[in-house]
Amino acid sequence: MHAVEKILARAAGREEVTTGEIVNCTVDLAGINDLYLQTLRSFAEMGGKRVHDPRKVVMFLDHFAPASTITQADNQKQFRAFCREQGIDLLMDIDQGVCHQILADKGLVRPGMLVVVTDSHTTTHGAFGAFGTGVGATDLAIILITGQLWFRVPEVIRIHLEGRMSPGVYAKDVILKVIGTLGADYGVYRAVEFTGPLLENLGISERMTLCNMTTEMGAKTAYIQPDQVTFDFLRDKVKMESSVVTTDSGYRYAAEHAFDVSGFKPQVAAPHSVDHVSDINVYLGKPVHQAYLGTCTGGRVEDLAVAARILKGRRVHPHTRFLVVPASKGVFLEAMAKGYIQTLVEAGATFVTPSCAACLGTHQGILAAGETCITASSRNFPGRMGHAEAEIFVASPASVAAAALEGKIADPTQYLV
Amino acid sequence: MSDIIKGTAFVYGANIDTDQIYPGGYLDLTDPELVARHAMERVDPDFVKEVKWGDMIVAGTNFGCGSSREHAAVTLKASGIAVVLAESFARIFYRNAINLGLPLLVCPGISKQVKRGDRLDVDLAAGRVINQGNGAVIEAQPLSAYVMAILENGGVKPMIRKENEFR
């Protein structure tokens, strides 16, 4: 069996499971975010009275943090009341940041866990050797009532990464190249595992970015076998025992792809599809109205660090707005202590409180028709960040910072060697 | 659920994501009637004016990719869409739609055999679509027994409610 199958087998109370089988699993951690009041509606519609195990539930007020309409405010009010009534102590209110980064900061995800959140980017937790997957509101409500949910045991695709990344190239560029090569629907219903020597050089932040973006190829979950990097990250955060599982030798992957990243250039996904990927050189000089650094994909300390390095002692281009949204309170505090916030504010960045903000086009940095944005987030669908006639280019945090500086799409390498 | 579903097709391309089906700016709404007002807004602004109860959506690969928003399934169901026929579906959208009792069929090659306004006969149990416009017969992948059971119960909510009563 593959490690992800062993996680499902354990959660299903079984010795083994087979690929394609439907199994009913006990969920170790269930997260709800504030976009989906429907979760509470479905809970009531299905006759839910008490949450099965409130200790395993986390409520995130992150997508509308802080509320900018009366409806959003009322939804958040209902979520807070639900947490109080049901004894859900893990209420992450509007000061905390984006769900996936909070889970990482607080050490709430450990290897071997089955983590389900009403957010498509729950694949992020493969970086910790957990089985993370996104569901909709009603599925989450079923977990609230029963503690369980059905899953189809997925096939696993192996992405083997080797070589060394050149200066200016990051995990974001690598995963964009992978998605551009394989396609936005290549991973649908399947799990994606990353292996190979490149991983030894990637910290948790970059591993989270790899796993996070597998959602953009349709993956059900992502997985990186926990190693010393994982254990070092978790050591100070997690008190509980982890149950690390490993893939049996001889396991047959549904597909295997190897990438040598040594020759990779900084990448960009051009409008309006995440698999519309090319070297950033193709778009050099394209004027940028907004540069967006943040989200569960690209708003971590390392991401703010590279932006601060590029912008230290320099000024954001006068025709460009540079929005910076630390992914969490923890990220914000650490970046502040390291001086990155001071550097970026002095350079002309506009800060937004830790949250999902403009990534999904709800508030805090919406685009007008005809505007161009370069973003460290994950998606460039038509209208994703505002008007359907805005153009969104998905790139690495370094490329976003370089564009903020020059006011146009630029290769960040020149600032990093 | 053995009856033939008859309806008129709206046809779209590949990778129709949930932001196009239901834009992020309206995610604070929950009432299905309000949610239905923004159906397909970013891909087809005429959809809400033209859609009638019992109509169908035909699409290319990876329909419903992107965010986990159940709104994408709610908006189509509340608009009166009877079935979605696509070459493939993104997984969260697939679960959300089935949970709501909105049938989906994976129909390889369908987007080239149907044009907007064609009348279709859909046999869910047999996994077959007949285009009354050009006579094309399109074979769909059969629904799993588990999915059929959910649809026959009118979605997952009545099933769980029933189980919950015995708890």
- What does residue A93 show for φ and ψ, rounded to 5 degrees? -80, -175
B137-139 sheet: strands from edge to edge: B104-106, B83-86, B56-59, B4-11, B119-123, B128-131, B137-139
Contact of A374 with A395, CB cutoff 8 Å: yes
Which residue has tokens 């390392």? A302
Domains identified in chain A, total number: 2
Single residue among A259, A282, A301 that ends a domain in this structure: A259
Which residues in chain B are contacts of A35 at CB distance < 8 A? 27-28, 69
Looking at residue A315, what is its pLDDT? 98
Report residues of chain A scoring pLDDT below 50.
none
Q: How many CB pairs under 8 A join A and B?
A: 125
Instruction: Please report, for the domain that includes residue A309, its CATH number.
Output: 3.30.499.10
Which residues in chain B are contacts of A146 at CB distance < 8 A? 160, 163
* Same domain? A109 vs A22: yes
Contact of A68 with A360, CB cutoff 8 Å: no
In A, minimum Cα distance to B32 occurs at A38
Domain extent, residue A410, equals: 269-415
Q: Do A383 and B19 touch (CB under 8 A)?
A: yes
| Residue B2 banded pLDDT, cuts 50, 70, 90 | low
Single residue among A259, A281, A308 that ends a domain in this structure: A259
Looking at residue B39, what is its pLDDT? 98
Is the CB of residue A48 less than 8 Å away from at least one CB of chain B?
yes
* Same domain? A283 vs A236: no
Prediction ipTM score = 0.96
Looking at residue A272, what is its pLDDT? 96
Looking at residue B11, what is its pLDDT? 98
Looking at residue B157, what is its pLDDT? 96
Tokens of A113: 């866990």
* Same domain? A320 vs A375: yes
Element containing residue A159 per DSSP (H, E): strand A156-162
* Same domain? A64 vs A206: yes
Domains identified in chain B, total number: 1
Looking at residue A330, what is its pLDDT? 98
The CA–CA distances, whole Å, from B150 to A145, A226, A399, B98, B146 equal 17, 37, 47, 7, 7
Q: At what angle do helices A38-45 and B156-165 cross, to 10 degrees?
A: 50
In a domain, A264, yes or no: no
* Same domain? A48 vs A77: yes
For residue range B85-135, list pLDDT tens digits in order: 999 999 999 999 999 999 999 999 999 999 999 999 999 999 999 999 999
* Same domain? A255 vs A274: no
**B87/A96 Cα distance (integer angstroms):** 40
What count of Cα atoms within 13 Å lies in the side-chain half-sphere of residue A362?
23
Domain extent, residue B45, equals: 4-165
In a domain, A201, yes or no: yes
The CA–CA distances, whole Å, from A247 to A59, A155, A216, A254, B156 equal 32, 13, 25, 14, 34
Looking at residue B3, what is its pLDDT? 80
Q: Average pLDDT of chain B?
A: 95
| Residue B1 banded pLDDT, cuts 50, 70, 90 | low
Contact of B156 with B98, CB cutoff 8 Å: yes
Instruction: Please report, for the domain that includes residue B82, its CATH number.
Output: 3.20.19.10
In a domain, A63, yes or no: yes
Bridge partners of residue A351, in order along the sequence: A324
**A86/A14 Cα distance (integer angstroms):** 30
Write out residues 363-392 of A within 8 Å (CB-CB) of B: 379, 381-384, 388
Looking at residue A236, what is its pLDDT? 84
Write out residues 110-129 of B within 8 Å (CB-CB) of A: none
Which residues in chain B are contacts of A188 at CB distance < 8 A? 62, 88-91
Which residues in chain B are contacts of A42 at CB distance < 8 A? 157
Q: Is the pLDDT of residue B163 over 90?
A: no
